[in-house]
Amino acid sequence: MVVLDVEKILSDEKIGRKRRWRRHFLSIKVPKGEPDEVVVGNKIASGFGLGLAVLLVSARCLMTGTTKVSSSAEWVRHTHEVLTGLEGLLSGIKDAETGQRGYVITGESRYLEPYNTARDLVDQKLNPCEASPPTPNPAAASSGS
């Protein structure tokens, strides 16, 4: 004859229900033989560690992005300086061409004055370009532009 210990079965049933309820509603896996506090503490520590790792990766990405933006802003400033200088150079070349054309058509030396002035201006604008040749933008070179 099999003797059933009803109290043991009921207490095991209550513990089983308690574990199922915790696992289902609290997403806490309670291994047999370990206290609940240890498991919860491990989950909290794991969550904190994961959050810290995500924070560090985000900070690194932010720092890299900020560095790239700063470098890009410097290249934009440099490009604007170059374009402004080239506009002045083009204006001087047009003035020289206009003066030269006036002299060729009329033969009068008064038309050579804008030509000579523009020629000196073009020489001034070209000297900085010849002294420091442009350095390639590493970002533009790597993007294939």
52 and 92 fall within a common domain: no
Q: What is the pTM of this model?
A: 0.48
Q: Using CA atoms, how far apart are residues 89 and 82, in angstroms rounded to an integer?
A: 10
39 and 81 fall within a common domain: no
Q: Answer whether residue 54 is part of any domain.
A: yes
Sequential DSSP letters for the chain: -PPP-HHHHHHHHHHHHHHHHHHHHH-----TTS-HHHHHHHHHHHHHHHHHHHHHHHHHHHHHHHHHHHHHHHHHHHHHHHHHHHHHHHHHHHHHHHHHHHHHHH--GGGHHHHHHHHHHHHHHHHHHHHSPPPPPHHHHHHT-
Split into its structural domains, the chain has a count of 2
pLDDT tens for 34-88 read 555 567 778 888 889 999 999 999 999 999 999 999 888 888 988 898 888 889 8
85 and 129 fall within a common domain: yes
50 and 84 fall within a common domain: no
Q: Answer whether residue 17 is part of any domain.
A: yes
53 and 87 fall within a common domain: no
Q: Whose structure tokens read 């506090």?
A: 37
Whole domain around residue 98: which residue ranges?
76-135
